[in-house]
Every structure is written in structure tokens, then in C-alpha cells.
Amino acid sequence: MPRDFRLRATFDKAAAFYQDARPDYPDELYSDLLAITGVTPPAHLLEVGCGPGKATLPLARMGFRITAVELGDALAAEARHRLAEFTDVSVITSSFEGWEPPTGVRFDLLYAATAWKWVDPEVKYAKAAALLAQGGHLAVWNADHAMPVGFDPFFTEIQKVYEEIGEGHGGPWPPPPPEEQSDPMASEFDASGHFTVIGTKLYVWSLRYTADEYIALLDTFSGHIAMEPAKKEHLYQEIRRYLAARPDGRLTRHWSAVLTIGRRL
């Protein structure tokens, strides 16, 4: 497993505030997910890397049966707490790579929200296909920082601070706007030999953040969780300084998500 995969364990440190700090995924994404796959309650779904239940709750409220697998002890405990009212939802503490369902159990849809990149690429597609019923679907999506035309100049300003502390973007700035970026998951799906892509869709939205809210968000990202304390302290001081100079003390962060759906071959 690649070295960077060790960072996937860092998210457990953010279990107590991850749910509130991270954005909800657009309602339209769930509508499209169901329309493209054709799954309806009470189909049995498998979620990989559920965290505290960010993407689990909306589907549980629709009446789906869900088995959710989560690597982190604290995140899994938080998910169980938030999902306690849903008797058809179970949360299992395990890596996806090491988990096996009861004999004969197969799922109608396997999905991963902001988690699929943290699963071993040598394992994930073959295992997903093996766990799905005939004609079953795999759906993945992320919530990424988007830089559309006219994005908040705060991010160009603060990028200088990241570079000063050796945590720069590592590529041309600014990144291409979301509509100009390709969907890497689609090529992965096709290359796996286990799935054929039947749908992709881009979603872009924006949220406003105070300094405290934005720092809480950053503390849910693996790179910031693992950042050296002195670097993090300087970065957060600069974020507060930049935003204190604004009349309302807020920034606008754009988000993008690409929903990629494949059907098992």
C-alpha cells in the first residue's frame, strides 16, 4: 500500500467535529445516484469509509438497509451514535480490505463518499465487484476545493503562507476550474476490468466561513491534521489575520464533487 495511505488513519482524530465541519453533499447528487442506478428502498447498500455518517444519514432516512464499514474506532462510534435510530443500518469497525460479509450476502450498491482514494488500489475494484449482486453498481464521489472563475482571492493570498511553511500547492496556481478537469475515477473504473461507467456528473457549490469555522474545517483534512504544530499555528494565525481585515470576517470556499457510477460487468 502506498506510503500516503498511512494518512487515512488521521481522520479518527477529527471524529468529534468532522460531521459539523464538513459540508453536506448536494441533494441533487443523491437524486441522481438513485435515478442512474435505479436502486430503491429497501435495497441493501454497502458504504466504504462512512466516517461519522455524512453520506449515510441521507440514504438511511430514505429507508435503505445499509452496512457501513469504517476504519477508525472513534469515527465508527460517532456514526453509530448518529445512526442509532435506524435499525436497518449497521456500522462495522474495519478496513474495507480486511472485512468480509456473512456468507452469501451481496449488495445492490456499493458507495464511497470522500473515501475511495484511501482504499488499496490493488484490492478495491475486484473486491467491490465480488461483493455486488449481478447488475450491481459502484458509486464514488469526493468533496474537493474548487477554483471556479472569480474564486475568492483569499486563497491566492493564503497560498503564499503555505509556500512559506513548505506546504505549497505543488502545481500551477490557480488550478483549472472544476468544469475543465477530467474525471480520474471514470478511467479507473474502466481500467479495472470490473466495471463499466454508466454516469458521471459534476456539482459545484459554495459556502461562507468565519475564521473559526474555516480552521475547524481544515482540522478535518489529513494534511492539516498531520502538519507540524509550529507550521499549523503560523498558518492559522495568518488565516485569522487575513480575515480580520475583511468587513464581515468571512471567506467564500467553493466545493466540487464528481459523482462516478459504474455497473458491475
Question: 196-220 pLDDT, tens per residue?
Answer: 999 999 999 999 999 999 999 999 9
| Closest to 252 (Cα-Cα) out of 213, 212, 206, 203 | 206
Residue 6's pLDDT is what?
A: 67
- According to the model, what pLDDT value does residue 2 have? 47
Angle of helix 154-164 versus helix 229-244 axis, rounded to 10:
150
Mean pLDDT over each residue of the chain, to the nearest integer: 95
Angle at 60 between CA 99 and CA 100, to 5 degrees: 10
Dihedral of the alpha carbons of 90, 91, 95, 99, in degrees to the nearest 10:
-20
pTM for the model stands at: 0.94
Mean pLDDT of 31-40: 98
Whether the predicted pLDDT of 1 surpasses 60: no
Asked if pLDDT for residue 3 goes beyond 50, the answer is: no
pLDDT at residue 131 in the model: 98
Question: For the chain, which domains are there?
Answer: 3-148+176-206+254-264 (3.40.50.150)
Q: What is the pLDDT of residues 160-180, one digit of tens each?
A: 999 999 999 888 899 999 999
Tell me what pLDDT residue 169 has.
85
**Rounded alpha-carbon distances, angstroms, from residue 176 to 84, 93, 133, 135, 182:** 41, 37, 38, 35, 10
| pLDDT for 48 | 98
d(CA 94, CA 8): 13
CA–CA separation, 117 and 141 (whole Å): 10
Note the pLDDT of residue 171. Answer: 85
Residue 155 has pLDDT above 90, yes or no: yes
In tens, the pLDDT along 77-101 reads 999 999 999 999 999 999 999 999 9
For the chain, state the CA radius of gyration. Answer: 19
How far, in Å, CA of 195 to CA of 186, rounded? 10
What is the four-CA torsion angle of 18, 24, 25, 27, rounded to 10 degrees?
150
Q: What is the DSSP letter of 200?
A: E
pLDDT, tens only, 232-241: 999 999 999 9
Res. 5 pLDDT band, cuts 50 70 90: low
